């Protein structure tokens, strides 16, 4: 499944091994559903920036929110970034194309060749993983991102 931003740039790409979709909700078919053993890629300005994997996930087409649950692993892959190789681990992750902030919850930790941090109950990350902060300290303007949507 490929989710595109309004600019027609790819926001993220998700793959899975099996899926359960609620048949009584055809409007959300192929949009919402438990996808098992998911993996995929988040794109920033059309370039792969973060790869991910998790036990399961949902991609809500209507809300344009990607949710990953269970053994979530995110890895920065942008070859031009100094944080390439940075890995974030957590229990739950949501990524909305509206604000492009990776919101990680549950035993969040991050590690790279340069640093390690955690565990924290919650962290917001830029979609390149170059910035990791508590929700109250996240500064989206540094990355020219839209204002965050606090849920």
Partner 1 sequence: MTRSSAASVLLLACGVASAVLTGTRGQGASFTWGELKVTNIDPEHYSFDFATGKFSILGHPRLHATMSKKHLTVDSARLDGTADTTTKTMKTAKLSGGVKGQMESTTKDGDEHLSFAGPTVTYTSVGAATDQLADIDVSGGANFATSNASLGRTLSLSGSHGLFRVQSGDNAALQTADLDGPVTMHYDGVQVSVDRSKKPPVTSRSPVSGVAVGGHLTVSRAGNGNYLVRMSGGVHLKEVTGPNAGAEINTTAVNLEFDTSGTLVRFGSDAESTATVPVGKARG
Binding region for partner 1 (CB under 8 A): 81-83, 86, 112, 114-122, 128-134, 136-139, 142
Question: Between residues 22 and 116, which has the closer beta carbon with respect to partner 1?
Answer: 116
Instruction: Give first-to-last CA distance, the chain, whole Å.
Output: 25
Question: Between residues 60 and 105, which has the closer beta carbon with respect to partner 1?
Answer: 105
Residues in contact with 14: Cβ distance below 8 Å, sequence separation at least 6, in sequence order: 1, 3, 35, 38, 39, 40, 57, 59, 66
Question: Between residues 70 and 140, which has the closer beta carbon with respect to partner 1?
Answer: 140
Find out whether the peptide bond into 123 is cis, omega within 30 degrees of 0: no
Using alpha carbons, select from 141, 48, 146, 69 the residue that is nearest to residue 100: 146
Residue 26: φ, ψ to 5°: -65, -20
At closest approach, how far in Å is the CB of 16 from partner 1?
A: 30
At closest approach, how far in Å is the CB of 134 from partner 1?
A: 5
At closest approach, how far in Å is the CB of 127 from partner 1?
A: 13
Question: Between residues 61 and 143, which has the closer beta carbon with respect to partner 1?
Answer: 143
Question: Between residues 46 and 119, which has the closer beta carbon with respect to partner 1?
Answer: 119
At closest approach, how far in Å is the CB of 83 from partner 1?
A: 5
At closest approach, how far in Å is the CB of 125 from partner 1?
A: 10
Residues in contact with 141: Cβ distance below 8 Å, sequence separation at least 6, in sequence order: none
């Amino acid at each position: 499944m490929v989710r595109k931003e309004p600019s027609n740039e790819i926001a993220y790409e998700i793959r899975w091994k099996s899926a359960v979709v609620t048949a009584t909700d055809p409007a959300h078919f192929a949009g919402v559903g438990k996808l098992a053993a998911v993996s995929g890629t988040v794109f920033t300005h059309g370039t792969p920036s973060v790869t991910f994997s998790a036990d399961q996930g949902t991609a809500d087409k209507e809300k344009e929110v990607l949710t990953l649950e269970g053994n979530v692993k995110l890895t920065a892959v942008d070859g031009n970034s100094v944080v390439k190789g940075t890995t974030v681990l957590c229990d739950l992750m949501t990524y909305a194309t509206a604000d492009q902030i990776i919101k990680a919850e549950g035993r969040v930790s991050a590690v790279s060749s340069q640093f390690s941090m955690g565990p924290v109950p919650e962290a917001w990350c830029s979609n390149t993983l170059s910035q990791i902060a508590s929700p109250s300290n996240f500064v989206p303007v540094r990355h020219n991102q839209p204002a965050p949507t606090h849920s």
